[in-house]
Amino acid sequence: EVKLVESGGGLVQPGRSLKLSCAASGFSFNDYWMGWVRQAPGKGLEWIGEINQDSSTINYTPSLKDKFTISRNNAQNTLYLQMSKLGSEDTAIYYCARASYYGFSAYWGQGTLVTVSS
Amino acid sequence: EIVLTQSPTTMTASPGEKVTITCRASSSVSYMHWYQQKPGASPKPWIYEASKLASGVPDRFSGSGSGTSYSLTINNMEAEDAATYYCQQWNYPSITFGSGTKLEIK
């Protein structure tokens, strides 16, 4: 069974950094592109970016490219999202997803909530 | 960046009714997908590559479209179909989502 479990969310002060993790199991992690999507409270889905199998290609949505960094550790079956200079607009549930063909996210984690507030 | 516009934003349908949700892209996309999300839950993969149903999706759902215009259709609306539906385009290396259509049951 494919399982994606995000962690690392919580309350963080404006301007600070935070690193999220996504533990993957039930499939061969190093065979798949992986990505992050977020959802602000009561709002729609926003694609953050994705990383290929060997980390040689990482794509971001343009507005977040300078704030967020996606990485992965294939030995530990873990995906990461490093977020910097956080503001209230970054308050959201952050989902990791396993990509399938043509950008389709066939599996999603349960999400981790990040709240940016003083 | 390709902008996806979904319509309607919100709609209410009666059981048994036919429902159509549309998604229009600001320019031609390579692939279009759809997700279903219920309150408090993660999005679920629903339709991929415009017309292929994801695993477990009832066959009363269908998808169609090409270029800049896509739609999701439900034949015979059921109570369990009440949810928010999002379209998502892939035009490498860009991915964007529509703003969602909230579908309620009457």
pLDDT surpassing 90 at residue A100:
no
pLDDT for the residue numbered B6? 98
- Looking at the DSSP assignment, which residues form a beta bridge with residue A68? A83
**What b-and-e string marks burial along A81-99, b requiring 16 or more CB atoms within 10 Å of the CB?**
bebeebeeebbbbbbbbbb
pLDDT for the residue numbered A101? 84
pLDDT for the residue numbered A77? 98
Residue type, position A104, single letter: F
Does the N-terminal peptide bond of residue B15 adopt cis geometry, omega within 30 degrees of 0? Answer: no
Residues of chain B with confidence (pLDDT) below 50: none
C-alpha Rg value of chain B to the nearest Å: 13
Minimal-distance CA residue of chain B relative to A35: B95
Rounded average pLDDT over A86-98 = 98
pLDDT for the residue numbered A57? 97
Please report residues of A whose CB lies closer than 8 A to that of B44.
108
The helix, strand and coil proportions of chain B, stated in percent and rounded to the nearest 5, come to 5, 55, 40
Rounded average pLDDT over A36-50 = 98
pLDDT for the residue numbered B90? 96
How far separated are the first and last CA of chain B, in Å rounded? Answer: 36
Please report residues of B whose CB lies closer than 8 A to that of A111.
42
Size of interface A-B (CB pairs under 8 A): 71
